[in-house]
Structure 1
Amino acid sequence: MFLSCFSTDKLWDLAAAEVHNREVGGRDDAGVGGEAVGERTIFLMGSKTGGKTSILLRCLDRDEPAKPTLALEYTFGRRATGHNTPKDIAHLWELGGGTSLSDLVQIPITAASIRSLSVILVLDLSAPSALWASMETLLQAAQAHVERAASHKSRAGGKQSASGPFAARVLPKDFPDRELISPFPVPLLIIGSKYDLFQELASDKRKVICKTLRFVAHYHAASLIFSSIKLESLVSKTKSFFSRLAFNVDVGKTVSCDSSKPLIIPAGADSFSQIGSPPTTDVDITSLHAKNPKDLWKKVYERIFPPENTSEKKEVKDPTKDPQYVEPQIDAMRAQKDQELEEYKKNAAKSWKGLQLDS
């Protein structure tokens, strides 16, 4: 695991405090789930090279160049709540590598963090063919581990936990389509990145992407916003959604569902009736054999945007072979050592064969 901290001020104090809070998770003076009052955790994941780090830096008002994320990186944000009062703290984890490192979700998603956990999914709007696969793989991985961590917390806590077992989100009774959706177990924000490039796509394709993401967001009771670090107005809106998750700041009442404009849709501000049916201009729905509404939207979407050839872009499980982490000098030395190892194996094999013949 790689840890990257954009600010080191009191970092070890924060780490020590978090460990302490986990140890005394059942005490009344601890926050929900064992984290201190005023602390939240945000897990950021999404499309490879989708702009996650750039978005995070802008949300934290940090004027520094974005660097490629190395596996899983950690930083934190703080917000003053008043004079001489403790600052709210947001623990921020960012997963790199797109879907190839989805196993690392187990690090930020723990039994101690899930009660204050939120997830941000960043999807590259300029690469629609890879969009659904990235979204589905990452959401499934995160949801599975949230449920696993919740189950572990429930078994370990029992009657000793002051906060009780973790419970999935409970939506308001007036939440649109409440009986028809499957809410993500923790607050979820979907950010469509690179909106400036997205605008270059044909109008009919933009409408398909917009309707599909609206459906997915509403189905999971998630918020949805389109963003671009090159458009300050969208950066400002994105920061407000981020601050809502990180520091419980009011997100405002702006709503935009027009596909000709950037989508800005807080959770609960959309509905299936407003979204309409899947865009089936050249697709016969009856021939798709979908298992459920979400599967139907997936099949329609992938008919219009065929998935990328996975055989050509096979996921790299070994980070040393991932082109994202190229280091010429280190790689040259590694290649030399690999060659020496192969020669050693050959010589050892010959020696072993010689011993067998002598015996």
Structure 2
Amino acid sequence: MDIWDLAKEKVKANEEKAASLEEKLDDELSGHLATEIKRRHESHVVLCGNSKSVKDIAHLWELGGGTNLTSLLTIPLKAANIEYVELAKNMCMCLSKAIIESARKTVDLTMKDDEALKQRTAKGMKTRMEKYGDDAKLCAPFPIPITIIGGKYDEFQNFDSDKRRIVCQTLRFAAHYYGANLMFFSSRMEQFHRLGKNVLSMHAFGTVAPQGHIVDHSKPLFVKCGDDSFEAIGAPAAASSAASFSRSSAPIQLWKGSFLEAFPQKTLPNEHGEDLSLDPLFREPLIDRLVEQKQKDLELFVRHKREKPQTTENST
């Protein structure tokens, strides 16, 4: 059995395991299990649409693992579909400089050798920024459309009012700063199902954008790109005044600092560094044994190459 057959079997086993885990989470989403699930579900989604075929098709790629696997963005982000791509980021990752810069770099590399594609993408970004006015000078718009999604609204609506306000202000700023759309969502609340489908259809197939504009922190936010302003959003608590905010060379960092003051983040220890294959959560006995054997073969090969010149020298 080769590695591809093992991979196919593992995919099938993972699907069954995921279904079983989902049922288990509904019954006992608590303790260490819940912590690990939440940690592993730091992700963003790449949406690729194709409305030219007989059937409308949208491909959704979810990238998990936080900042560890951002290099995989090169898989869905191709020159052939970059004009039909939408990035959807969760509320924490929209403040991550590493995620944003990695995605931006990937998009730039994708368009590097296609001047016509660059011009079309720049034109699309300019169109999205038309309603910004003077705010555009303080923004760092992303080259392709982004939608920032505040998930689990069924839980968020029960937060303290002040905390909801801070989260909503921060998300509104991030969306306005990056030229993104902003929406709240919950798979457990029926009112969001139609909205989610309409937003998906808008980005994948160019259908009419859902109507509405909600910025009240006591309600689920829905703000389309260009429908907000820095003046309406206000300054973060960390800034002493709106003037100091406008003079800041990195306003997104002011908002991030203010957010982290209200919501201190727990640093999860990464005992194994960047090598996720050593993480117990990623143990795959069959695959691991094959990898171990390949590593041993490589070590023997390297050792043989190092010893060969010495043997030749001694013989002479």
Note the C-alpha offset of 1:221. 1.4
The corresponding residue for 2:144 is: 186
Whether 1:275 aligns to 2:233 is yes
Range with bigger deviation, 232-241 or 260-269: 232-241
Following TM superposition, where does structure 1 have runs of at least 4 consecutive aligned residues deviating by more than 4 angstroms? Answer: 1-5, 74-79, 163-166, 283-286, 331-338
Note the C-alpha offset of 1:335. 10
Whether 1:105 aligns to 2:80 is no
The corresponding residue for 2:22 is: none
TM-score (norm 1): 0.61
Label 1:47 to 1:109 Cα distance change in 2 as closer, same or farther (>3 A).
farther
Whether 1:227 aligns to 2:185 is yes
Note the C-alpha offset of 1:227. 0.8
Letter in 1 for 2:69: L
The corresponding residue for 1:197 is: 155
Letter in 1 for 2:219: K
Equivalences for 1:64-75 in 2 at 5 Å?
none
- Separation in structure 1 between the aligned mates of residue 95 and residue 138 of structure 2, nearest angstrom: 24
Equivalences for 1:330-341 in 2 at 5 Å?
330=286
Contact 1:150 1:165 in 2 (8 A): no
SS in 1 for 2:112: helix
The corresponding residue for 2:131 is: 174
Whether 1:148 aligns to 2:109 is yes
Give me the CA root mean square deviation. 4.1
The corresponding residue for 1:257 is: 215
- Separation in structure 2 between the aligned mates of residue 182 and residue 264 of structure 1, nearest angstrom: 21
Looking at secondary structure, tell me which structure has more helix per residue: 2
- Separation in structure 2 between the aligned mates of residue 89 and residue 252 of structure 1, nearest angstrom: 20
- Separation in structure 1 between the aligned mates of residue 280 and residue 157 of structure 2, nearest angstrom: 29
TM-score (norm 2): 0.68
- Separation in structure 2 between the aligned mates of residue 208 and residue 202 of structure 1, nearest angstrom: 10
Whether 1:217 aligns to 2:175 is yes
The C-alpha deviation readout for 1:224-279, integer Å capped at 9, x for no partner, is: 01111111112322221111111112122122111111111111221112111113
Note the C-alpha offset of 1:75. 9.5
- Choose which of 74, 77, 90 in structure 2 pairs with 1:122: 90
Label 1:297 to 1:324 Cα distance change in 2 as closer, same or farther (>3 A).
same
Note the C-alpha offset of 1:134. 6.3
Letter in 1 for 2:68: S
- Choose which of 62, 81, 85 in structure 2 pairs with 1:94: 62
Contact 1:189 1:222 in 2 (8 A): yes
Letter in 2 for 1:320: S
* Stretches of structure 2 lacking an aligned partner (at least 5 in a row): 13-37
Label 1:321 to 1:122 Cα distance change in 2 as closer, same or farther (>3 A).
same
The C-alpha deviation readout for 1:255-307, integer Å capped at 9, x for no partner, is: 21111111111112211121111134xx7677xx9533222212222232334
- Separation in structure 2 between the aligned mates of residue 267 and residue 86 of structure 1, nearest angstrom: 30
The corresponding residue for 1:326 is: 283
Label 1:47 to 1:222 Cα distance change in 2 as closer, same or farther (>3 A).
farther
- Separation in structure 2 between the aligned mates of residue 138 and residue 315 of structure 1, nearest angstrom: 21
Q: Report the identity percentage.
A: 31
Equivalences for 1:340-355 in 2 at 5 Å?
none
Whether 1:297 aligns to 2:255 is yes
Label 1:121 to 1:333 Cα distance change in 2 as closer, same or farther (>3 A).
same
Count of equivalent residues = 266
Whether 1:139 aligns to 2:100 is yes
Note the C-alpha offset of 1:148. 1.9
Contact 1:150 1:166 in 2 (8 A): no
- Separation in structure 1 between the aligned mates of residue 39 and residue 149 of structure 2, nearest angstrom: 11
Label 1:50 to 1:145 Cα distance change in 2 as closer, same or farther (>3 A).
closer
- Separation in structure 1 between the aligned mates of residue 202 and residue 130 of structure 2, nearest angstrom: 22
* Stretches of structure 1 lacking an aligned partner (at least 5 in a row): 6-45, 57-73, 124-130, 155-160
Contact 1:119 1:188 in 2 (8 A): yes
- Choose which of 31, 41, 47 in structure 2 pairs with 1:49: 41
Letter in 1 for 2:192: L
